Amino acid sequence: MARSTPTTLALPPFSGATRRIIFILLGVFFADAILSHVLPDALYAAILTHLVLIPSDVLSGQIWQLGTYCFLPMGILGSFFALLTIWFVGAMLEDVRGSRWLYELFFTSAIGGAMLATLLSFTHLLGLSPLSIGMGCYAGIYGLLIAVAVLMGDIEFLLFFIVRVKAKYMVAIYILLDLATLLKSSNAFEALLHLSGALCGFLFLKFASRRGLTYGVTERYFALRNEFYRAKRRRAARKFEVYMSKQGRKVHFDKDGRYVDPDKDPTDKRWMN
């Protein structure tokens, strides 16, 4: 449900999927800091090369980069603002749609954005290159921001902690800044990752079930399974009708293959299996 009330200075709840995502990112941040001091520079750089997103490496078989890149830190200041954004925005969305939905939105935006940006980098448009490097969780964050703009666009934030602005306008400003970066900056691949994550987040909102992709897939699976068993029961009922007609008796089944007792009220289905 969309919210229109302004934000307050109270901190949002720190729990559920929001807390777990932040803890994972914090753990990777400190692990990266320790490894950068413990390992030789050459070994540390070699490990990092296999974890960041490099489109040419992804098409060479290192498909795990589509997921690992989003956990890598972007420096102290960048990581701080990223975690703060996940806390505030993620807590709001989790309160409305639940933990599983938040997980799916975040990782769909991060991984889907990486896939889209990887493919677009091979077009070489706007100075893009498959040798570009991407890292950080902002593709997933942009998916969360799009969700906030769509679901609760009238809620107010403090932009840069100074200007009070509605969520839909704040997200529009971020999108325009990344579009400008994509068109005029040498760091176009990072901007492309952000925009691709935002697009994947929007598509998730558009086509996924309100309860998430997992719920929609399982519902579809059980619907197909039940239809399969109903078809088997109808087929068995038709065979039984043919068999009983050869014995000089008539039996009737409904459209779902359930036996209809001629001595019972046909509208009373409480006795049926």
Per-residue pLDDT of 37-88, as tens digits, reads 999 999 999 999 999 999 999 999 999 999 999 999 988 888 999 999 999 9
pLDDT band of residue 115 (cuts 50, 70, 90) is very high
- Give Dmax over CA atoms of the chain in angstroms: 89
CB 54 within 8 A of CB 65: yes
pLDDT at 183: 85
3-state secondary structure of 241: helix
What is the number of residues in the chain? 273
pLDDT at 215: 60
pLDDT at 271: 44
pLDDT at 65: 95
47 CB neighbour count, 10 Å cutoff: 13
What are the pLDDT digits (tens) for 186-218? 778 999 999 999 999 999 998 887 766 666 566
Task: Please check the confidence at residue 3 and state whether its pLDDT lies above 60.
Answer: no
What are the pLDDT digits (tens) for 116-174? 999 999 998 888 889 999 999 999 999 999 999 999 888 877 666 677 888 888 899 88
Q: Is the dihedral of CA 27, 29, 35, 37 positive or negative?
A: negative
Task: Please check the confidence at residue 4 and state whether its pLDDT lies above 70.
Answer: no
Task: Please check the confidence at residue 8 and state whether its pLDDT lies above 50.
Answer: no
Distance CA 163, CA 71 (A): 30
Task: Please check the confidence at residue 11 and state whether its pLDDT lies above 70.
Answer: yes
pLDDT at 234: 76
pLDDT band of residue 14 (cuts 50, 70, 90) is confident
pLDDT at 9: 46
Q: Which two tokens stand for residue 44?
A: 């540390």
What are the pLDDT digits (tens) for 223-273? 677 777 777 777 777 777 777 777 777 777 777 667 676 666 555 555 444
Mean pLDDT of 14-25: 93
Q: Is the dihedral of CA 101, 103, 106, 107 positive or negative?
A: negative
Tell me, what amino acid is at 73? Answer: P
Task: Please check the confidence at residue 106 and state whether its pLDDT lies above 60.
Answer: yes
Distance CA 70, CA 137 (A): 4
pLDDT at 59: 92
pLDDT at 5: 47
Distance CA 169, CA 171 (A): 5
pTM above 0.85, yes or no: no
Task: Please check the confidence at residue 107 and state whether its pLDDT lies above 90.
Answer: yes
Phi, psi of 225 (to 5 degrees): -65, -45
